[in-house]
Amino acid sequence: MTGSAKRLNWPRKTEGNTLSEQKDAELARKGRITSLVIAGTALFWIVASFVGGWLELPNRTRALFDLVALAGFIYAIVMIFQIWRLRQSNDQNNKG
């Protein structure tokens, strides 16, 4: 490894971390999970659409795949809203 390439060390909950750092690490973790949910749902939807067309599945089955993908995206929106609310509460706690 060269001097410019550093290994990423994600913040871990240790005794030395302050409460603010722990909350920031938790928000970062939730953000990573949310991004994985979005990417996984999108990948599932693309593969399901392709396989449904290739296997000539009935439209009802393809619609079921679409509904599952829609549920995944709605779940991701709920997760994003939760992150937003947590970030707002953290900002208010830090100010006051």
pLDDT tens column, 25-74 = 999 999 999 999 999 999 999 999 999 999 999 999 999 999 999 999 99
pLDDT band (50, 70, 90) for residue 11: low
Residue 82: closest CA among 19, 30, 23, 28: 30
pLDDT at 29: 95
pLDDT at 13: 54
pTM of the model: 0.76
Can you say how many angstroms the Cα of residue 49 is from the centroid of all Cα atoms in its chain? 22
| Number of neighbouring beta carbons within 10 Å of residue 95 | 6
Count Cα atoms within 13 angstroms, Cβ side, for 7. Answer: 2
Q: Is the confidence at residue 91, as pLDDT, over 90?
A: no
Contact present, 65 and 46 (Cβ < 8 Å): no
Average pLDDT over residues 79-96: 86
